Structure 1
Amino acid sequence: MSSFKAFGKPSDPAIEVGADPSISYVVRGAVLECECGSNPNILNLPMCHGAYIQGKPLMNVGDSKNIANIPATFGVCEALGEPCQPQVNMEWLNGKNDVLIDGKAVLTSESYVMCTKHPQGIIYVADDGQQKG
């Protein structure tokens, strides 16, 4: 799974995770992309967990529900040649397990989930949603 490091990550995270400055915490409004999708979309959090960075709600690995958190589409599923309707039946992977929000690992810029519609349907964080600079 080392290929996930090749995805575009925030180059100057406002809040870093541990010693690696390329990994950061993810907040509501982060930009998501799917390896098979034609368009990015926005990660949502209908109800805050009560933890914030720069006034923005932090996300946890449990925030992986279809439509509520993961958007209803990423444009066209290029692997299937039809409109994208992602189906996620798992929690985010690669959360920061030693930082918990509502009992679950905090979401990081290295987190991803798999879409069950196609084996190449990997949904990942393209931008953590934090204000830079």
Structure 2
Amino acid sequence: MAKVYVIRGAILKCSCGSMKSRIMIPVSHGVYAAGQPKLNINDYKEGENITHFGFCNKTCGGDTREKGYDSKGNQVWRCKAKILGPWQGGQDNDLVENAPGLTDNCVTHCKYGGEISIEHHEQTPK
């Protein structure tokens, strides 16, 4: 299957999270697909590009995540994603502002053990 470029608003998922999220880009790199800005592998920053994934099912000791409770009263950890580095698997032969373009096969990782991936690139209907 061909790789598809990821654009602003694409749907992300974390292997440890309870909900999906959307990737954002505050300022366009100047390259567009389907009328939306394309992203590159450096668009991985917490709070700027990636927000949170609801509750985290990892219970790492000594971290700063906030405790919360689910609808059944069970203690859970609120997701505070700590991204370890750029997306892996970008399109090296098509640069977006001097970095490999972000494609739907890319992944990055959270310090708490989650693998973050692209669930839908948003260029076509799901």
The TM-score bracket by the shorter chain reads: 0.7 to 0.9
Larger Rg: 2
TM-score by length of 1: 0.79
Pick the aligned partner of 1:88 from 83, 87, 104.
83
After superposition, where does 1:70-89 map in structure 2 within 5 Å? Answer: 70-71=50-51, 73-80=52-59, 81-89=76-84
Unmatched tracts of structure 2, length 5 or more? 60-75
Post-superposition shift, 1:89? 3.0
User: Counterparts of 1:89 and 1:35 in 2: how far apart (Å)?
Assistant: 15
- Which residue in 2 is equivalent to 1:98? 93
CA deviations on 1:33-88 (whole Å, 9 max, x unpaired) are: 000000001000000000001111000000011110011x2011012241111001
Aligned residue for 2:19, secondary structure, equals coil
Q: Aligned-residue CA RMSD in angstroms? A: 1.3
Report the residue type matching 2:24 in the other structure: N
Aligned residue for 2:50, secondary structure, equals coil
Aligned residue for 2:44, secondary structure, equals coil
Q: Percent identity?
A: 31
Tell me if 1:42 matches 2:37: no
Tell me if 1:125 matches 2:118: yes
Q: In 1, are the aligned partners of 2:58 and 2:112 still within 8 Å (CA)?
A: no
Number of equivalenced pairs: 110
User: Counterparts of 1:106 and 1:58 in 2: how far apart (Å)?
Assistant: 7
